[in-house]
Amino acid sequence: MGVGKFDDTDGVSSESERHDKPGLLLTLREGDVVIHPAGTGHSNVRDEGDYRYLSFFPEGSPRWISENGERRLDQAPELLELIAQVPMPQDPVIGNEGYLVPLWRAASE
């Protein structure tokens, strides 16, 4: 996710705010990049009214599904199967020589 034009507080969690478990709260500014592992998401908790972001998904990924914290991944094996089908992407900031590709490979072994 790329951020443009504002300050924002973004919540990253496997549960929705209705469950009162907001997860990690990050303050993002223009130019920041957030990398979400497959199967995780974000929500805009607070912004200055000019919220703009870009999302990119690896080519060949299964169709994106918005769960909004309705189900936990450990209770939804069909979602875990879809997550496992997401191909290894390039590092979206630096490319194949970036830091993320070796981390992703190690995590997938």
24, 13 contact by CB (below 8 A) = yes
78-108 pLDDT, tens digit each: 888 888 888 887 887 887 777 888 887 887 7
Of all helices (H) and strands (E), which one includes residue 9? Answer: strand 8-12
State pTM to two decimals.
0.57
Q: Indicate the domain borders of the chain.
A: 2-108
28-55 pLDDT, tens digit each: 777 888 887 777 777 777 777 777 777 7
Please state, in angstroms and rounded to a whole number, the distance separating the CA atoms of residues 67 and 80.
Answer: 13
**Which residue has better confidence, 47 or 27?**
27
Residue 18 φ then ψ, to 5°: -65, -25
